[in-house]
Amino acid sequence: MSVLLRSGLGPLCAVARAAIPFIWRGKYFSSGNEPAENPVTPMLRHLMYKIKSTGPITVAEYMKEVLTNPAKGYYVYRGMLGEKGDFITSPEISQIFGELLGIWFISEWMATGKSTAFQLVELGPGRGTLVGDILRVFTQLGSVLKNCDISVHLVEVSQKLSEIQALTLTEEKVPLERNAGSPVYMKGVTKSGIPISWYRDLHDVPKGYSFYLAHEFFDVLPVHKFQKTPQGWREVFVDIDPQVSDKLRFVLAPSATPAEAFIQHDETRDHVEVCPDAGVIIEELSQRIALTGGAALVADYGHDGTKTDTFRGFCDHKLHDVLIAPGTADLTADVDFSYLRRMAQGKVASLGPIKQHTFLKNMGIDVRLKVLLDKSNEPSVRQQLLQGYDMLMNPKKMGERFNFFALLPHQRLQGGRYQRNARQSKPFASVVAGFSELAWQ
């Protein structure tokens, strides 16, 4: 670890990051007030029409329409991330975050026998900042990765964000290949010469030895909400408010609905959120990792099957009523890691969730911060580095609210032999960086 971190990964402050006091989505409260009025957005008009024609919709359908409707969805047309957007994420706060994740992938690649090729696959890459920081680490450690063929695969539903990602990541001189009708809707070459492709669905990413990354991705997947009543579980729906024009409201379904199947039989809470889409994605990741090796790293805010009502909205760095002006605010719900673990069970091993401050500490954030501080004479840069560290690590800020969770092949934790590259075959190390202190094998 010390070799990597002390060797001064990457340019010191080449990566300008947001000034800090913005809201992150893991947070529940802000000084913001709800908008006094309820503007009739194109999305509200669309939803009112839909509800009038076919009846109230589930919260999951509401979330899906509002966030990813191809014509009017929030992610499809808003530039929502960062200082000028609606919320801020760890990679946008500090370059160290992505650097340490880059080291995590290299550490896993080394621990599992240094395969001759791997795919780096990110789900929901936002502005491309995180993968950019990871690729910078790969470049800096070119001597370690020199005989390895790397390709980058981004799963992104937003055309607007995919354009921003391409601007951040690709080499201008190599024109992007675009094919809107194809599952691979865009292709190019990164600034460091690595092939990069865009997909709308994980299903379309080629199977093969891969490292998967999902940072603040699972929290935007649609959730069904349920409430316990004397008659049993009843699902929460979104309906038109008959009392106020152009306003939506929550109602309870009069009878049982199919998504109830996702609630555990021994559930003791009286209000739960379930996310079938998260289960489908974890199953797909687990099957891929079991079949071809690699690992998945999921980082998000969430709980271990304990929280009840976490569905919320963010607009302009303030908490926002989820039913007001739909399409103008981000919608999110805490990730239930106990559900992710259940969906992976039997196929792959899982680690975590562990708190962000523990994971980053184990990955050597303090050493990396010190290197960057020692190299910087600029007070504003030093201040930004320290503020960024505090935001990521402080238990009252992102340090405790965000969690890391990993999926790994069973053999990775059992000391089995690595099969893919017989020449370099060696037993798997049992220590997984981040979940234990980073140590080079």
**x-marked contacts with ligand SAH along 260-289 as a string, rule CB under 6 A:** ------------------------------
Among residues 270, 272, 277, the alpha carbon closest in space to that of 260 is found at: 272
Instruction: Estimate the crossing angle of helix 337-344 against helix 276-292, to 10 degrees.
Output: 40
d(CA 117, CA 364): 26
Minimum CB distance to ligand SAH, residue 147 (Å)? 30
**Does 240 help bind ligand SAH (rule: CB under 6 A)?**
no
Which two tokens mark 23? 């809201």
Of 96-104, 133-141, 154-162, 302-310: span binding ligand SAH (CB under 6 A): 154-162
Cα separation of 320 and 325, whole Å? 9
Who's near 101: CB < 8 A, 6+ residues apart? 130, 133, 134, 213, 215, 297, 299
Q: Is 24 in the site for ligand SAH (CB under 6 A)?
A: no
Q: According to the binding rule CB under 6 A, does residue 215 interact with ligand SAH?
A: yes
Q: Which listed residue (10, 26, 85, 91) binds ligand SAH by CB under 6 A?
A: 91
Q: Which stretch binds ligand SAH (CB under 6 A): 133-141, 152-160, 342-350, 406-414?
A: 152-160
Stretch that binds ligand SAH, among 27-35, 150-158, 232-240, 397-405 (CB under 6 A): 150-158
The answer to whether 68 contacts ligand SAH (rule: CB under 6 A) is yes
Q: Determine, following the binding rule CB under 6 A, whether residue 333 of this chain makes contact with ligand SAH.
A: no
Question: How far apart are alpha carbons 209 and 211 in whole angstroms?
Answer: 7
336 near ligand SAH, rule: CB under 6 A: no
Which residue in the set 124, 279, 352, 353 belongs to the binding site for ligand SAH (CB under 6 A)? Answer: 124
CB of 88 to ligand SAH, least distance (A): 8
Closest distance to ligand SAH from the beta carbon of 332 (Å): 9
CA-to-CA separations, 176 to 149, 201, 202, 206, 269, in angstroms, rounded: 20, 19, 21, 19, 50
| Residue 171: exposure state from Cβ atoms within 10 A (0-12, 13-18, ≥19) | middle
15 binds ligand SAH (CB under 6 A): no
Nearest to 391 by CA among 132, 103, 94: 94
Full DSSP string of 149-174: EEEEEEE---HHHHHHHHHHHB-TTS
Sheet holding 330-332, edge to edge: 318-320, 312-315, 330-332
Q: Give the one residue of 56, 102, 125, 188 binding ligand SAH; rule: CB under 6 A.
A: 125
Are the C-beta atoms of 47 and 64 separated by less than 8 Å? no
CB of 113 to ligand SAH, least distance (A): 29
CB closer to ligand SAH, 387 vs 441 = 387
> Of 38, 58, 69, 158, which one interacts with ligand SAH (CB under 6 A)?
158
Which residue among 101, 205, 220, 348 contacts ligand SAH (CB under 6 A)? 220
User: DSSP labels for 379-398?
Assistant: HHHHHHHHHHHHHHH-TTTH
**From candidates 48, 51, 144, 157, binder to ligand SAH by CB under 6 A:** 157
In whole angstroms, how close is the CB of 257 to ligand SAH at the nearest point?
A: 22
* The binder of ligand SAH chosen from 18, 93, 101, 155 (CB under 6 A): 155
The answer to whether 403 contacts ligand SAH (rule: CB under 6 A) is no
Closest approach of ligand SAH to the CB of residue 30, in Å: 18
Q: Is 217 in the site for ligand SAH (CB under 6 A)?
A: yes
Q: Does 216 bind ligand SAH (CB under 6 A)?
A: yes
Report the amino acid identity of residue 436: S
Helix crossing, 95-111 with 129-140: angle to 10°? 60
Q: Minimal distance in Å, beta carbon 61 to ligand SAH?
A: 14
Q: What six digits make up the tokens of 257?
A: 């609905």
Q: Crossing angle, helix 379-393 and helix 95-111, to 10 degrees?
A: 60
For ligand SAH, the closer CB: 115 or 158: 158
Binding residues for ligand SAH, rule: CB under 6 A, are 67-68, 75, 81, 89, 91-92, 124-126, 130, 155-158, 161, 215-217, 220
